[in-house]
């Protein structure tokens, strides 16, 4: 059986988003999966309490680290990826809400072709990987269980993307190492650093693809920091034209329409809890003074 990758979640500063994200990860990810909550000194006392309770309850092999001082989004994530060595790593956005089967299908996508370096699932706010409309931010899925079941029936054709998209991406470890990791000197945002990494991987002969059978929702698109897109344009002069051409040609139109039909015709889902409901509603009822720090960090 193929070993599941490490799931990395960069912890954000929005406690409610963190709570919902952890609940979705718990509901949608196989028991025993290694999960690393990586905190670049962004969470506060309530966030610590949410993480601590989640660590005590989850059936995942979860760990939490928190830096004493922030070093920036890209530098921190590059540090985390480097610590993972040659292991495959699935990176989730801080507001990601994965649907059931997301990780297993991303793994299957990577295993299907040794030339695939990055696999990106569908997302309601996934830019080039967006569903139901390319390049648009749609509302959160109203019936995530139905959507997950429909997505699972999509054919594993793995079409090419211009670059991986930051809502969720599975990165092949040895490809990431060969490309030299993230460029921490040029970019301040994961949004831009992932595009740059994808383009370097493509230049080395690897593929960045859409995993049509997986879906990870989120509340909005990622954003670049000031200057990041200008630096991308200098290093990759054809990048903007490449993305514009992809949006105009819309090679994923038939795939999105097929997923539309599957969602419309799939049978009723089996009874199960709300995938996106916060798992720790009881924590909200407790005193705001209950802000014990989370587990000890591994990074200084």
What is the set of domains in the chain, with CATH numbers?
6-267 (3.90.550.10)
Q: 216: helix, coil or strand?
A: strand
pLDDT tens for 134-167 read 999 999 999 999 999 999 999 999 999 999 999 9
pTM assigned to the model: 0.90
pLDDT tens for 237-277 read 999 999 999 999 999 999 999 999 999 999 876 665 555 65
Q: How far apart are CA 120 and CA 13, in angstroms?
A: 24
In this structure, the number of other CB atoms found within 10 A of the CB of residue 220 comes to 11
pLDDT tens for 188-209 read 999 999 999 999 999 999 999 9
Quote the strand ranges of 133-206, DSSP E: 168-171
pLDDT tens for 81-117 read 999 999 999 999 999 999 999 999 999 999 999 999 9
User: Which pLDDT score, from 0 to 100, does residue 278 have?
Assistant: 53
Taking 70 as the threshold, does the pLDDT of residue 4 lie above it? yes
Q: Tell me what percent of the residues of the chain surpass a pLDDT of 90.
A: 87
User: Which pLDDT score, from 0 to 100, does residue 28 have?
Assistant: 97
Q: What is the band of 2 on the pLDDT scale with cuts at 50, 70, 90?
A: low
Dihedral class, residue 83 (left if φ above 0, else alpha if ψ from -120 to 50, else beta): alpha
The residue with greater pLDDT, 298 or 2, is 2
Taking 80 as the threshold, does the pLDDT of residue 283 lie above it? no
Phi then psi for residue 229, to 5 deg, are -70, -30
Residue 246, CB-side half-sphere exposure with 13 Å CA sphere: 18
Residue 40, CB-side half-sphere exposure with 13 Å CA sphere: 16
Q: How far apart are CA 176 and CA 180, in angstroms?
A: 7
User: Which pLDDT score, from 0 to 100, does residue 3 have?
Assistant: 82
């Amino acid at each position: 059986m193929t070993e599941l990758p490490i799931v990395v979640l960069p912890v954000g500063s929005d406690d409610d988003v963190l709570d919902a994200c952890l609940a979705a990860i718990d509901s949608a990810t196989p028991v025993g999966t290694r999960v690393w909550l990586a905190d670049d000194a962004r969470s506060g006392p309530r966030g610590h309490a949410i993480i601590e309770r989640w660590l005590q309850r989850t059936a995942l092999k979860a760990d939490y680290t928190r830096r004493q001082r922030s070093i920036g989004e890209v530098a921190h994530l590059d540090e985390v990826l480097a610590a993972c060595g040659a292991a495959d790593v699935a990176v989730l956005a801080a507001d990601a809400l994965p649907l059931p089967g997301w990780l297993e299908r991303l793994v299957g996508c990577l295993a299907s072709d040794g030339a695939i370096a990055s696999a990106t699932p569908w997302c309601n706010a996934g830019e080039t990987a967006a569903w139901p409309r390319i390049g648009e931010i749609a509302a959160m899925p109203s019936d995530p269980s139905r959507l997950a079941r429909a997505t699972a029936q999509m054919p594993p054709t793995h079409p090419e993307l211009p670059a991986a998209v930051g809502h969720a991406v599975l990165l092949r470890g040895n490809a990431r190492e060969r490309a030299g990791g993230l460029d921490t000197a040029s970019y301040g945002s994961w949004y831009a650093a992932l595009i740059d990494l994808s383009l370097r991987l493509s230049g080395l002969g690897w593929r960045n693809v859409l995993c049509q059978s997986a879906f990870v929702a989120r509340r909005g698109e990622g954003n670049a920091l000031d200057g990041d897109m200008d630096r991308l344009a200098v290093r990759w002069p054809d990048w903007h034209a490449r993305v514009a051409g992809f949006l105009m040609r819309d090679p994923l139109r038939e795939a999105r329409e097929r997923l539309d039909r599957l969602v419309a015709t799939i049978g009723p889902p089996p009874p199960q809890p709300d995938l996106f409901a916060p798992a720790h509603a009881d924590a909200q009822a407790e005193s705001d003074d209950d802000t014990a720090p989370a587990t000890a960090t591994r990074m200084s």
